[in-house]
Amino acid sequence: NAGVMQNPRHLVRRRGQEARLRCSPMKGHSHVYWYRQLPEEGLKFMVYLQKENIIDESGMPKERFSAEFPKEGPSILRIQQVVRGDSAAYFCASSPLSSGSLNEQFFGPGTRLTVL
Amino acid sequence: AQSVTQPDIHITVSEGASLELRCNYSYGATPYLFWYVQSPGQGLQLLLKYFSGDTLVQGIKGFEAEFKRSQSSFNLRKPSVHWSDAAEYFCAVGFSFSGNTPLVFGKGTRLSVIA
């Protein structure tokens, strides 16, 4: 069973360009979380999605950021008109459908975004 | 607001020495508690977790953690550190009682191991 896959692993963009980060959850997992890690910081929650639904986006910046998890295909975190402050590591985690107790989140290797 | 505090930004220990990394949380009830380890440039690996029951939990790589409700703490310990344990350690907490909940992370403790 492959783990959580993220691509690309490294992404370089110039200011004003768009960044698209992809996350394929573990097989059988229907919940996806995106976290952002700024340099010297812990991970901060951005958005929580199930297939075709955004469950909690309380950590997403109000502008330029969006996320989706379509019925088919990976989850996408999209950042429009990137700025230098968007430079960070973006981690995706997945978990299975809840069975009543908290399910462990399995993390991908991350995408390291650098904005020039 | 719920929060997680890791008071130590950087700890250095000698190989073979014991280790304790501190984690405190702020919440009115018992949350779900996790410790993750991150090697440079890598993702996060789960070391151990606490949901309920025995307050001393065993994890991988010889790590253990003890939940102390009275102190709102979940400190990570290892009796004898190996050089390969050098990494960043994150305490994380799930504050919701629903099955799936976003995690709140501490800022991490960087562990250095010297010979």
Residues 6+ apart with CB under 8 A from A85: A115
Does the CB of B31 have a partner CB in chain A at under 8 Å? no
- Tell me the mean pLDDT per 10 residues along chain B, length 115: 90 97 87 90 89 90 94 96 96 76 91 95
Of A52-56, A59-63, A96-100, the one with minimum mean pLDDT is: A96-100
Distance (Å, whole) CA A82 – CA A76? 16
The closest alpha carbon to B78, from B14, B7, B9, B6, belongs to B14
pLDDT at B2: 79
Contact B108, B90 (CB under 8 A): yes
- With bands split at pLDDT 50, 70 and 90, how would you rate the model's confidence at A98? low
pLDDT at A81: 98
Distance (Å, whole) CA B79 – CA B73? 19
Residue A68 bridge partners (DSSP): A76
Q: Inspect the interface and report whether the beta carbons of B103 and A103 lie closer than 8 Å.
A: no
Is pLDDT larger for residue A4 or for residue A99? A4
List CB contacts (< 8 A) between B33 and chain A. Answer: none
CB atoms within 10 A of CB A107: 23
The closest alpha carbon to A23, from A86, A62, A77, belongs to A77
Closest Cα of chain B to A107: distance in Å? 6
Distance (Å, whole) CA A26 – CA A4? 5
- Whether A100 shows a pLDDT value over 90: the answer reads no
Phi, psi of B70 (to 5 degrees): -65, -25
List CB contacts (< 8 A) between B92 and chain A. Answer: 43
Does the CB of B44 have a partner CB in chain A at under 8 Å? yes
Q: Inspect the interface and report whether the beta carbons of A102 and B43 lie closer than 8 Å.
A: no
What's the one-letter identity of residue A65? F
The closest alpha carbon to B89, from B54, B65, B72, belongs to B65
Residues 6+ apart with CB under 8 A from A36: A43, A44, A46, A88, A89, A90, A91
